[in-house]
Structure 1
């Protein structure tokens, strides 16, 4: 028998001012997407913005459906938007902002499993890591170096 240990780490920022201006701008762009989120059932809104290696940015927000499995998460909408309009440019940083209209969220919320897997696919596709910035009502920001920090045993095309 062999035991292996998986560890992950992330940086906690206690306000935007500790981030570079480009990251502050990306988070601000993600925040604007909250106004476009369609979340009549959960009241849980997600705004996301992705910055690509060439400096271009794309955004997205969640879109709910009465048939929950048909909902689209903001993270995936932003990444797929980037893939449509800049298909050959690698994502560099993904900012994800959440807001629950029913209650205050005091800590950043990480992406769901499906979004984690999609982010992992983008990392593999472009052979680079994607920094992830997570925030909520609290002004606290979690900075992850890669989706592998929250999805260490991901599935990828090497298994196919």
Structure 2
């Protein structure tokens, strides 16, 4: 038997003003997308903004449905839109912002498991790491250099 240890390295920014101007812009796009989310059931709004290697920004927000499994998270709306509209471009980074009508979200909110898997698919497809920045409505922002930092034992096509 062997025991191994996996660690995750991440950076914490105290606020949006600590980000470089390009990443500030990306996060502001995620915040704007969040404000247009359709979340009448959870009242939990999420926005995502993706920066492509051609400097295009693709946004998405969560879209809920009364038939709950039919909705989609912001990250998947954005990444599938990028894949559909810019299939030959590389995703460089994703910014995510979340808020709630019920309470102030002032700590970083990372992608759910399904979104982590979807981001992993694109990271594997393009063979290039995707930087991920995530925050709540305000406050600290977490940055990871790759989806692998959030999902170290991810499932991919090599297992099929």
TM-score range, shorter chain: over 0.9
1:102 matched to which residue of 2? Answer: 102
| 2-structure distance, mates of 1:8, 1:68 | 32
Q: Structure 2 length normalisation: TM-score? A: 0.97
Q: Structure 1 length normalisation: TM-score? A: 0.97
Residues paired across the two proteins, number:
160
| 2-structure distance, mates of 1:35, 1:90 | 26
Show structure 2 runs of 5+ residues with no match. Answer: none
2:26 matched to which residue of 1? Answer: 26
Secondary structure, counterpart of 2:148 in structure 1: helix
Secondary structure, counterpart of 1:36 in structure 2: coil
1:77 matched to which residue of 2? Answer: 77
Structure 1 residue 104: Cα displacement: 1.1
Q: Post-superposition, which runs of at least 4 consecutive aligned residues in structure 1 deviate over 2 A?
A: none
2:38 matched to which residue of 1? Answer: 38
| 1-structure distance, mates of 2:105, 2:35 | 17
Quick check: 72-81 or 135-144, which moved more? 135-144
1:3 matched to which residue of 2? Answer: 3
| 1-structure distance, mates of 2:142, 2:31 | 15
Show structure 1 runs of 5+ residues with no match. Answer: none
Secondary structure, counterpart of 2:111 in structure 1: coil
2:131 matched to which residue of 1? Answer: 131
Over the aligned positions, Cα root-mean-square deviation in angstroms equals: 0.9
